[in-house]
Amino acid sequence: MAPLIPETLRDPATLGDLLRVASAPDFHRWEDQIRRTGGCANPIRLRGWTLHKDKVSGETLHHYNTENEPGGCLRIACGNRRASRCPSCAFTYAGDTYHLIRAGLAGDDRREIPTTVRDHPRVFATLTAPSFGQVHNRPDRGNCRCGTRHPADDPALGTALDPETYDYAGAVLFNNHAGDLWQRFTTRLRREIAARAGLTRRELAEHLRVSYGKVAEFQKRGALHFHAVIRLDGPEGPNSPPPAWATIDLLADAIRAAAAHSYTSVSVPAAEDQPARTFRWGAQLDVRPVKAFGDGSEITEQAVASYVAKYATKAAENTGSLDRRIGELSELDRHQVPDHTRRLIEACKMLDPLYPERRLWAWAHMLGFRGHFSTKSRQYSTTLGALRQERADYRAAQERQALGLDDCEPDTVLVLADWQYAGHGHTPGESALAATIARDVQLNRETAREALRDRLTDEREC
């Protein structure tokens, strides 16, 4: 049997460009740059130079210029969080999110989050969207309302049983206001906790702080829901214990009450042929305690952090939507967007002039949602910026060592630089080669992760 040829290499132009890149005398340097980006699918190209000089003597310690680089450019990672746009950079983003969420559950001495947070009440809560009409589903028992038992990968799952009666306008307006609904929920949650403790909302701040980290996920029907780690701390945050009356049961009960309260709603005024709407969370609310790692529970610290990290790199692509802004509806035909998702996008287009401040058409590719996919409260954990800075400092230290500057005090070295944007992305041949490099990098990362997991398991057993 003849070997399978990747689809991208069946194009003679792509294959020719690949051979051009691979046979170039500076190919190994190009490959090194791509490996340093982790196999980035859409690297940013920079032109410029950097100069290290001794502040006292004026001696040039190191000089770098991109003139001798492949294509006269230095390539750096794009940093896109979307797995559909750049799997490599999304992997890094997911890793950062994992560390951020897990540090808020298990603590992290390096990032000044005490391990005592494990003793704080914390739950994993899922708040869902209400119903906008019946959809094809897979109930635990019996068949779908359409009379069939759908396989797990059936594309009909999540689509409307009757598209003519499904409230597509309501669905996208809910997505658009989901961030406002979450804000109202967190405000009400504090009031519910205070009421159960016999305190006023102002007095609660003297005894307790509510911290959280959350991520958004699109259901197959195109409706948004939120997964959140919610934790109770003392008044000083994670470094202080919550009062004895702040229990997991109290937190779970307060979450259910806050989600159902009439205050936790968002009103949307009527506009032309659109009725006035009031959005609340759906009836399906899941609240489960988070257990310590390794106690046999399904909802563990690691499982929750992995789950949140997974969805931090996704958006509405699982519904068949595009991963970028839509210019014209004709694009939906070219990309074969499914009918259910298409109707949601068309609803954004139709509603946009009725609610101009909501910018529905600008966010039609996100089915109306325009908030951040992953957010956290101020003192839940470390920040993504701090994690990126930590990684940048580590790489800077590696660079100083490679240049022989690690013995020099940073304050004695003057760094001059001039960088200019020179474009982004790959040629077709470069893209095919970069995808191969990305797979190698991914395999190495997964192997290292498995080795670390095995080592930690052995240490716990000992």
Helical spans, DSSP H, in 282-427: 301-312, 330-334, 339-351, 384-402
How far is the C-alpha of 9 from the C-alpha of 418, rounded, in Å? 38
Select the more confidently predicted residue: 193 or 456.
193
Task: Give the rounded percent of residues in the chain with a pLDDT score beyond 90.
Answer: 68
Mean pLDDT (whole number) for 330-334: 93
**Signed CA dihedral, 96, 311, 373, 264: sign only:** negative
How far is the C-alpha of 360 from the C-alpha of 172, rounded, in Å? 8
Mean pLDDT of all residues belonging to the chain = 90
- Residue whose C-alpha is closest to residue 175's, from 307, 284, 315, 331: 315
* Ranges of each domain in the chain: 87-132+167-382
Using CA atoms, how far residue 11 sits from 6, 15, 225, 379, in Å, is 10, 6, 41, 52
Give the pLDDT confidence score for residue 77 in this predicted structure.
Answer: 94
How far is the C-alpha of 231 from the C-alpha of 221, rounded, in Å? 30
pLDDT digits (tens, 9 = 90+) for 376-403: 999 999 989 999 998 888 888 888 888 7
Comparing 180-189, 249-258, 448-457, which segment has the lowest mean pLDDT? Answer: 448-457
Is the Cβ–Cβ distance between 119 and 241 less than 8 Å?
yes
Confidence check: pLDDT of 270 > 80:
yes
How far is the C-alpha of 456 from the C-alpha of 441, rounded, in Å? 23
- Residue whose C-alpha is closest to residue 89's, from 46, 44, 45, 37: 37
The DSSP secondary-structure symbol of 162 reads S
How far is the C-alpha of 148 from the C-alpha of 436, rounded, in Å? 42
**Signed CA dihedral, 154, 159, 162, 163: sign only:** negative
pLDDT digits (tens, 9 = 90+) for 181-200: 999 999 999 999 999 999 99
Is the Cβ–Cβ distance between 208 and 234 less than 8 Å?
yes
Give the pLDDT confidence score for residue 1 in this predicted structure.
Answer: 36
Select the more confidently predicted residue: 393 or 209.
209
pLDDT digits (tens, 9 = 90+) for 37-65: 999 999 999 999 999 888 888 888 889 99
- Band of the pLDDT at 2, cuts 50, 70, 90? very low
* Three-point CA angle 250, 255, 261, nearest 5°: 120
Mean pLDDT (whole number) for 438-453: 83
Helix/strand/coil for 257: helix
Q: How far apart are the first and last CA of the chain?
A: 50
pLDDT digits (tens, 9 = 90+) for 282-307: 999 999 999 875 556 668 888 899 98
The DSSP secondary-structure symbol of 241 reads P
The DSSP secondary-structure symbol of 364 reads G
Give the pLDDT confidence score for residue 101 in this predicted structure.
Answer: 93
Q: Which residues contact 105 (CB under 8 A, 6 or more apart)?
A: 117, 118, 122, 229, 231, 290, 301, 304, 305
How far is the C-alpha of 219 from the C-alpha of 159, rounded, in Å? 11
Comparing 241-245, 300-304, 335-339, which segment has the lowest mean pLDDT? Answer: 300-304
Confidence check: pLDDT of 86 > 70:
yes
* Amino acid code (one letter) for 227: H
Give the pLDDT confidence score for residue 255 in this predicted structure.
Answer: 98
Give the pLDDT confidence score for residue 254 in this predicted structure.
Answer: 97
How far is the C-alpha of 223 from the C-alpha of 369, rounded, in Å? 9
Tell me phi and psi for residue 286, to 5 degrees: -115, 125
Give the pLDDT confidence score for residue 8 in this predicted structure.
Answer: 62
